[in-house]
Amino acid sequence: MLKRILVLCMSVMLLATGCNKKTETSKIFQLLDQPTEQADYYRDVVYKEGANNRKLDFNLAIPKEASESDKKPLVVFLHSGTWVAGDKDDFNNVIYTLSYHGYAAATIDYGLVPNENMLGQVDNAIDSITYIVKNYSDKGIDKDKVIIIGASAGAHIAILSAQKICDNKNDYDFNLSYLVDMFGPSDLRYYDNIDEEKQQEIVDLDKSIGYFKRNPEFLSGDKELDYYDCLSKVNPIEVVNKNLVKTLVISGDQDKYVPIKISKSFYNKLKELGVDAQFIEVSGAGHDPFSEEIWKQIYDTLKSQV
C-alpha cells in the first residue's frame, strides 16, 4: 500500500515540475501554472502595429525537442473577454500545458474594442499566425498543422478567422488543420431574443451586446451600416460555409453566458453544411476557460484528429 502511495506522489511531482516523464501526463492531465523545462519561451513578441498605433504581441512556447525532423503542430489561442477586455497573459497556462504535451503554442493579443472592431480583431489574429509561421518555422513549427482555439469571445474571433483562412487558402503560407470553439457566442442574434429576466442572468454579455448596438461600427468597421447589417457580417452562424476546416464545438451544460443551445445550433449548422464537425457536451461545466475537464477533452480530441 505504501509503495502505491509513493508512486502516485512521484507521478504528481513529475507533472508539476515539468520533468520529461511524458507518460505521466497522459494519466494525470492538469493545466500547468508555470513554465516547464520542456519548452523555449518567447514573450511579448510584437507582430504588428494595430489601430491607433497600438503594438500587438504574443507569447509563444516551442518544445525543445522540436526540430526540422520533428516538427510540432502550432496551436494559436485567442482569449476570452467579450471583445472589450481580456489579456493574453491571463492564459499563459495554456501554452505551458500544450508545449509540455508536445505542441508549439501561442496566446495572442488581438486588440480590443474600441481600438479595434471585430473584423479588425479577425485580421489581427490571422496576421499573428502569419508572423509566427514566417519567423519561427525554422525552430520546428509545422506550418502544415495549424490549430486555432478560441474561448468565448475569442472563439467567436477564431471561427471568423478560420472561415476567412479557409476561403482564401492561397493567400496564406500555412495550412489550417483544426478549429476549436470553446463556448463561443456563435449566434449573436440569440441575445436579441431573450426576455429581461434572462438578460439579467447574462448581464456582462448583455452589456457588451448593448454597447455594440449603440456603436455598430465596432462590429464591422463600417460606419454607414446599422447594427443588424453589421451583425450579419460578424455572426458566425451566418458567416460559416462548407469550406470551414474540421471543427470541435465544446460546451458546458451549465453555461449561463453562452447557453449550450447556442453551441448545439451552431454545430447543427456545420453538419448541415457538410463540415466535418464534432460536438462535446461537458456535464456540470459552466463558462470556464480554465476547466481542466474541458481542456482534457480538447487535448484528447487534438491527439486523435491532428
Each domain of the chain, given as residue ranges in start order, spans 37-305
Using alpha carbons, select from 168, 150, 155 the residue that is nearest to residue 243: 168
37-305 folds as Rossmann fold (3.40.50)
DSSP 248: E
How do the pLDDT tens digits run along the chain, 306 residues long? 433 333 333 333 333 434 343 434 444 578 999 999 999 999 999 999 988 889 999 999 999 999 999 999 999 999 999 899 999 999 999 999 999 999 999 999 999 999 999 999 999 999 999 999 999 999 999 999 999 999 999 999 999 999 999 999 999 999 999 999 999 999 999 887 765 555 555 555 656 777 888 899 999 999 899 999 999 999 999 999 999 999 999 999 999 889 999 999 999 999 999 999 999 999 999 999 989 889 999 999 999 988
302-306 own/partner pairs: CB under 8 Å, 24+ apart: 302/73, 302/75, 302/103, 302/147, 302/178, 302/180, 305/178, 305/246, 305/248, 306/73, 306/145, 306/147, 306/177, 306/178
For residues 275 and 247, the answer to whether their CB atoms sit within 8 Å is yes
Q: What is the pTM of this model?
A: 0.89
Q: Which amino acid is at 233?
A: K
- Please report where in the chains the cell 463556448 appears, as a residue: 183
CB hemisphere CA count around 295 (13 angstroms): 22
